[in-house]
Amino acid sequence: MLYATLFPGLLALSSVISLLLAGFALRHRQTPGARAFAAILLGSTIWSTGYAFELLAPTVQAKIVLDNLQFIGCESVALGSWFFALTYTGRTARAYASARLLWLFPLCNIIVIWTDPWHQLLRTWVVLEPLPPFMVLSYGYGVWMWFYLFYAYTLVIASIIFLIRFLFRSHDAYWGQIAAVLLGLSSSLIGNLLTVLGLVPISNVPNLDTAPILLLITNPIWAWGIFRQRLVEVVPIARDQLITHLPDSVLVIDNHYRLVDINPAAQTLLGITGQWQGRLLSEVLPTLCSCLETATEPPKHTCLLPIDQAGQLLWVEASANRVYGWRQQPIGWMLMLRDCTLQHRMQLQLQESERNYRNVFERANDGIAVVQDGYVCYCNARMAQMLGYTVAELEHQSAVGMFAPQMQATARSNHERRMRGDAAPERYEAILVHRDGHYIDVEINASITDYNGRRLPRHLYAI
């Protein structure tokens, strides 16, 4: 079979590519998942290299030794897949917790593999099957081999499940990365299953190990994931981790206003302890529930709500955003709550202060006017009476126009200097013009004041 003569060369090429990709991954080992992905690639290198030399080995004993060495690569792929899936999806703590237990099995496996001639727990029988110009090692599986396959397949399949679940929760910009890993792991798994089940579609050698040969397909996929999708350079942050650590409170409810998810900040703010899944929003935030029930399907709804927390009144800014399913049908709401009690209290105090300030203005015996952009934006009743106008008539008039013609240049100059921050007289005598045309001698006390969030000149006019 001519194509069989190409196997060692193709396996060697796969080994070189896997080794180069592993080196690139190790250069970015600070990226979450990069070290575990490098372990997968190094395991693939050992696996394919060992199988290439196994095909070339002339004796059964040499083939068994090389087959034993390949188990190191297989274990590296299985463990690397598990740790990559956990660290890539943000489950680093779980990865460290499982490391001690999972590393015990490879140590036991090494002992069983190299002592197999005495107990035959790994191989029950050994034969060579012809695949000209090579002889392929084939053997029956012992009890330990089946246990080992269960261990390795469980790790790889669990890793694939983790990555698939993470795929649907990740931004679509990272789907290429995850798909590359999934395709690579799946092809290796399928190739090994064909060998284990004796389903390799090559006559006389149904147990030919096709997994390292399938690296010819896997390596280009992983290379695309690394260089095109920047697999080991940039990885997504799990969105559930983002929500968990957000300082703002986040709740997710379904269309029946039942709690589906809640982050720790929301539990603390709302005083929710114990079982919360399935609780009605009307039990937790009845005011917001009423707002959502009466809303006419807005994509976003924002309101200010009072919350009674242990007898203390808190104010929160609630933002409700519609959540849509894969067919763009509404399936619930995501609620974001921000504690704005302090800001609300400050706003109330500011409003009270402004009312008191305005009350002082209105009751003052002297005329008071606030000038904005050269026009009167506010004046009290005494100021309007002084010039023979109503308050509504005097507001929005030119401030300089109130002065007698011979005083307008001085008034304009003082105003401009004061607005620039230059030195300008705070108290000076001036002449104003009454509505009927007669002049009024006044003393002006001018200063800068805060009005509606702006620094504006205030003029106090005393007759």
For the domain that residue 265 is a member of, what is the CATH number? Answer: 3.30.450.20
Check residue 327 and give its pLDDT: 64
- The answer to pTM > 0.75 is no
- Tokens 């929710």 map to which residue? 272
The CATH number linked to 27 is: 1.20.1070.10
Give 10-residue mean pLDDT values along the chain (463 residues): 69 87 83 83 91 91 94 91 83 73 86 93 91 86 93 91 81 75 84 82 74 77 73 58 74 82 82 78 75 57 61 74 73 81 76 74 79 83 88 86 89 83 83 90 80 57 49
**Beta strands at 300-309 and 375-379: parallel, antiparallel or unpaired:** unpaired
Q: What's 10's DSSP letter?
A: H
Same domain, 170 and 304: no
> Pick from 236, 259, 291: which residue ends a domain?
236
Counting the structural domains of the chain, the total is: 3
334 and 381 in a single domain? The answer is: no
Q: What is the pLDDT of residue 49?
A: 93
| pLDDT score of 463 | 46
Residues 438 and 376 in one domain: yes
The reported pLDDT for the residue numbered 185 is 84
What distance in Å separates the CA atoms of residue 232 and residue 22, rounded to the nearest whole number?
Answer: 10
Q: Which residue has the tokens 């709740």?
A: 251
- 202 and 78 in a common domain: yes
Name the residue range of residue 318's domain. Answer: 246-339
Rounded Cα gap, residues 361 and 375, in angstroms? 18
Helices (H), 171-300: 175-196, 215-223, 239-245, 264-270, 281-284, 286-294
Identify residue 436 by its one-letter amino acid code: D
